[in-house]
Amino acid sequence: MVRSYWKQVLDEGLQVPTDRPLDDLTAELTTMLGSADPVLRDGTAYPALATWVDRGVYDDLLVGLGDGMAAGLAVGLGDVDTDTVFRRTFSVLVLAAVIERDSAAQLLPGDQVLRWGDRIVSWLLRERDLRGYVPGKGWAHAVAHGADAIAALAGSRHFGPTELTVLLDVLADRILESDAPLDSGEPDRVASAVMAVLRRNLVPVKVVEPWVARLAASGNPSVLRGDRNPYLVTNNAQQLLRSLYLQLAVAPGPPADKADLVLATVDALRATNPFTLAR
């Protein structure tokens, strides 16, 4: 019954149903965000909530919806390899949509968005279930979805140079503190979030350069690290540097300091790839 009801809603272009109160619809969709069924979660609940947010359906209820999604970040936090991850990682996507709606329509006070930013950052750094694709259940993708939320925060008018610098540090922390290689496209999404910060043109190059150097210090496989495969240990930092270079070089809408940022990233890649990029 749930499937057939929401399939009809999808087939009708995600128009808000008129046969039930919006509160009831929202509560049901929020529960579905935590479903292990990707059709209900990724194919129904998330697109419905995100679309309604974008269309302004929740404009008068945006704080309540955002707070509900922020609460979802704590559900099962600390669990590893359980289905609670879906509620967290899809709640953060809806919260990102809420923040983007505020950026488009300027509906919320700054302290509200900053509080959500604190919740997102805290969750992303504490999340321990870093699975990408879960067979039979679809995407969990905590790091990728967290990066998307950071990108939404980076676009907020409420975030200035100090807050944007913190976002860069959080992205680096998440990449460098991940024990296993992130092999489901996460470094690309993190690089996109970095680009969202850099496109604001508020964080000076003199701040970004040490940030890049920090990645380089952890991304050099020629430095032995105990009895582990050094390419596994350095993979995440190395992949982020490569993706950032590519996006700086070819992505549309580059930051104003593109040339200097490209040079800094190239220097980092040369330093961390001495066998192939040595001068």
The C-alpha atoms of residue 167 and residue 195 are separated, in whole angstroms, by 11
Give every residue of the chain whose pLDDT is below 50, as ranges: none
The C-alpha atoms of residue 38 and residue 35 are separated, in whole angstroms, by 7
CA atoms within 13 A on the CB side of 114: 11
CA atoms within 13 A on the CB side of 176: 17
Q: Which residue has the tokens 């070089």?
A: 249
Residue 224 pLDDT: 66
The DSSP bridge partners found for residue 138 are 134
The answer to whether 238 and 222 have CB atoms below 8 angstroms apart is no
255: how many CB neighbours lie within 10 A of its CB?
A: 21
Using one digit for the tens of pLDDT, what is the confidence trace for 229-267?
Answer: 888 889 999 999 999 999 999 999 999 999 999 999 999
Residue 244 pLDDT: 98
Q: Copy the structure tokens of residue 241.
A: 């540097």
Alpha carbon distances (Å) from 67 to 119, 148, 150, 213:
10, 18, 17, 36
Residue 277 pLDDT: 86
How far from chain centre, in Å, is Cα 227?
32
Residue 279 pLDDT: 63
3-state DSSP assignment of residue 138: strand
The C-alpha atoms of residue 63 and residue 61 are separated, in whole angstroms, by 6
The C-alpha atoms of residue 82 and residue 36 are separated, in whole angstroms, by 10
Using one digit for the tens of pLDDT, what is the confidence trace for 81-113?
Answer: 999 999 999 999 999 999 999 999 999 999 999
CA-based diameter of the chain, in Å? 68
Residue 227 pLDDT: 83
Residue 275 pLDDT: 84
Residues 6 or more apart in contact with residue 17 via CB below 8 angstroms: 9, 25
Report the predicted TM-score, pTM, of the whole model to 2 decimal places. Answer: 0.96
Instruction: Show the beta-strand stretches assigned E in the chain.
Output: 133-134, 138-139
